[in-house]
Amino acid sequence: MALLEVHNVTKDFGGLRANSDVSFSTEKGDLVGLIGPNGAGKTTLFNCISGLHQVSAGRILFAGEDITELKAHEVARRGLARTFQVYTASGDLNVAENVMVGCFMRTRSRAQAKTRAEEILALLKLQDVSDYLVSELPVAAQKRVTMATALGSDPRMLLLDEVAAGLNPSEIEEILTSIKHIHYDLGITVMLIEHVMELVMKISDRVIVLDSGQKIAEGNPGDIAKDPAVIKAYLGERYAAEHKSGLRAED
């Protein structure tokens, strides 16, 4: 049985159709990339899946349960967590306390939340900054904090929204390592929106492509990089030529 099933999801905002009849599924243990040009409807789709937006049409199932009409906190309690492009942390809480906020999704015990937060911070190599305010950290570390906070809710699946945006190559490698820890060490299914193609193509088992709210392609990274519709809509001829070899699916 698929862990996440998206069936013919459509989302309208007045006269604007942000998602149109989008369908796909992910299995437990998948690591799926979601790509497409700006305005393609990627974040809107995440918002629908995570309960922030109610769909205009279609159904969403998680672990066999219909979650289409659930609120965001109800979806999170089912084990589906997400990050946001812009992380807004509480200004008077330090890094560890922000992660504990996520942990309180699963426990009312401050001691248990603190212990779990410490474990997560160690996994993402943030233990040395646990007493800092998030605003005092560089952007790359802030990105890892938002991932840590989401992990506090003990998710079965994690939706990552542009966690590599604005980072330099070495910082992107740090984020890549963190995603691998989350996926392989914790066994969490991951779906990520990303514009950093070097990351998404390297790490993804499968890639889904949106354009103008519609799914235009789905497949392994090697096939996606050669798909004429994807090259035209998003990747461009230069990317296809420079990356025609060395993609994960072609190893």
Question: DSSP 3-state assignment of 4?
Answer: strand
pLDDT digits (tens, 9 = 90+) for 92-103: 889 999 999 999
Q: What does the block give as tokens for 58? A: 């279609």
What integer pLDDT is reported at residue 100 of this predicted model? Answer: 95
pTM (2 decimals)? 0.90
Paired with 5 in beta bridges are 25, 61
- Give yes or no: residues 146 and 97 share one domain: yes
Please name the residue ranges forming H helices in the chain. 42-49, 72-77, 95-103, 110-123, 139-151, 169-180, 197-203, 221-226, 228-230, 236-242
Paired with 211 in beta bridges are 214
What integer pLDDT is reported at residue 149 of this predicted model? Answer: 93
Q: What is the DSSP string of 223-243?
A: HHHH-HHHIIIIIHHHHHHHT
pLDDT digits (tens, 9 = 90+) for 114-136: 999 999 999 999 999 999 998 88
- Give yes or no: residues 14 and 71 share one domain: yes
- Give yes or no: residues 144 and 159 share one domain: no
- Give yes or no: residues 165 and 238 share one domain: yes
Residue carrying structure tokens 């800092």: 132
Q: What is the DSSP string of 139-158?
A: HHHHHHHHHHHHHTT--SEE
The separation between the first and the last C-alpha atoms of the chain, rounded to the nearest angstrom, is: 28
Q: Hey, what amino acid is at 77?
A: R
- Give yes or no: residues 59 and 131 share one domain: no
Paired with 214 in beta bridges are 211
Domain count, the chain: 2
- Give yes or no: residues 74 and 160 share one domain: yes
What integer pLDDT is reported at residue 88 of this predicted model? Answer: 61
> CA-CA distance, 113 to 108, in Å (whole number)?
8
- Give yes or no: residues 213 and 189 share one domain: yes
Q: Are 216 and 210 in contact (CB under 8 A)?
A: yes
203 found inside a domain: yes
- Give yes or no: residues 106 and 138 share one domain: yes
Question: What CATH code is carried by the domain that includes residue 17?
Answer: 3.40.50.300
249 found inside a domain: no
pLDDT digits (tens, 9 = 90+) for 156-199: 999 999 999 889 999 999 999 999 999 998 999 999 999 888 88
- Give yes or no: residues 58 and 162 share one domain: yes
> CA-CA distance, 7 to 66, in Å (whole number)?
11
Question: DSSP 3-state assignment of 44?
Answer: helix
What's the domain range around 208?
4-79+155-244
Who contacts 78 (Cβ-Cβ below 8 Å, separation ≥6)?
62, 63, 65, 67, 70
- Give yes or no: residues 124 and 238 share one domain: no
250 found inside a domain: no
Q: If you average pLDDT over residues 219-233, what whole number do you get?
A: 91
- CA dihedral sign, ordered 103, 104, 106, 111: positive
Q: How many CB atoms lie within 10 A of CB 3?
A: 19
- Give yes or no: residues 90 and 174 share one domain: no
Q: Hey, what long-range contacts does 223-231 have (CB within 8 A, 24 or more apart)?
A: 223/249, 224/35, 225/201
What integer pLDDT is reported at residue 243 of this predicted model? Answer: 63
- Give yes or no: residues 54 and 177 share one domain: yes
Res. 13 pLDDT band, cuts 50 70 90: very high
Question: DSSP 3-state assignment of 216?
Answer: strand
> CA-CA distance, 46 to 85, in Å (whole number)?
11
